[in-house]
Amino acid sequence: MTNPNERTHFAPELHIPNGTYNIDFYLNFGATEHFCLRNDDGSIHVAELEINGAIFHLHETMRWFNALEPITAKGVTAVIGLFVPNVDEVMQQAIKAGATEISPATDHEYGYRQGMFKDPFGHFWQIQKKI
């Protein structure tokens, strides 16, 4: 099997209501927690989970780009997380193809290089790589 950092794969980011303290459902469902970053009040900011090699994230609702979790949106919502070997190259390809940059590729303290764009249909894509 190829190294997960060297192949393209999806990692959904599921929004949860702000002020969520408990994600036991996912652990009881069989997920393994890689990390969980909490806000000052103890609520969950972001957690990385894995089910049988499939990584996904739970993230508090980010209002700065009008995102909603499904309860508030009264529908299904998601940010499409795409892991790739070269974040900058994929970001440039997307923008060249007509995407709008939301945030440039940046290295983060939690060990990821990430950039985000909006495609012409309004879907948000987070292009990322573990560093």
Burial (0-12, 13-18, 19+ Cβ within 10 Å), 59: buried
pLDDT higher than threshold 80 for residue 4 = no
pLDDT higher than threshold 60 for residue 30 = yes
pLDDT value of residue 1: 52
Q: Which of 93, 96, 77 is nearest to 127 (CA)?
A: 93
Q: Which of 44, 58, 43 is nearest to 11 (CA)?
A: 58
Q: Looking at the whole model, is its pTM more than 0.75?
A: no
Mean pLDDT of 54-68: 82
In the CATH scheme, what is the code of domain 4-130?
A: 3.10.180.10
Cα dihedral across residues 120, 75, 68, 10: positive or negative: negative
Q: Which residue ranges make up each domain of the chain? A: 4-130
pLDDT value of residue 2: 60
Of 45-49, 75-79, 88-92, minimum mean pLDDT range: 75-79
Mean pLDDT of 31-52: 94
pLDDT band at 113 (very low <50, low <70, confident <90, very high): very high
Which pair of structure tokens corresponds to residue 66? 């009008």
